[in-house]
Amino acid sequence: MMRLDDFHSVFKSLGWEQYVIMPQKQIFDSSHPAVVPLDAPCDTVRYNPNTHGPKTSLYFTRPVWTQFDIFVRLNSNMEEKVWREVILSSSVLQQLDEVKELYRKRKEKLTNAESAFAKEKERRIRAEGVNEKAKAKLLELEEILVGEQEGVTSETQQEAS
């Protein structure tokens, strides 16, 4: 893995002074499949729960990127306008990718929330059904008990007279 400082050093050693390094495809949290444990082999490119075990869920506080678009202006005769168009085209694509990723994350959260809501609704409906059955059973038992109490009361009254 190369850091930005490594790129700057290499470009300086080659005498390249006009270049642009644009980070692409930001990783916002540890759920991304490219995030693997530190002790994973160095050639590991995707997380595998069977191999790597459970993953801690956390949001990154600093930007983490999956790739960099690097443009080096090697042709000194290239017009400034053309050079800027090359750089801007990559910037627009980067913004589009970021918007797509945010949309995907929000859609995933919404789907999870809808699923949780549906499960809770189903649980409450089942609980209400159980409660209704329990109420009916309690009323039935209460009627039996009242009937038996009335029977005991009338028997007691007959014995007393």
Closest Cα to residue 21, out of 29, 13, 9?
A: 9
pLDDT at residue 91 in the model: 67
Which tens digits make up the pLDDT trace of 96-108? 677 778 778 888 8
User: Quick check: 155 pLDDT over 70?
Assistant: no
Kindly calculate the radius of gyration of the chain based on its CA atoms and give it in whole angstroms. 35
Which tens digits make up the pLDDT trace of 31-83? 999 999 888 888 888 999 998 988 888 999 988 888 888 999 998 899 988 88
Give pTM, 2 decimals: 0.48
Q: What angle do CA 44, 45, 50 make, to 5 degrees?
A: 65
What one-character-per-residue DSSP string does 41-108 give?
-TT--S--HHHH------EEEEEEEEEEEEEE---TTS-HHHHHHHHHHHHHHHHHHHHHHHHHHHHH
Between CA 83 and CA 71 the distance in angstroms is 9
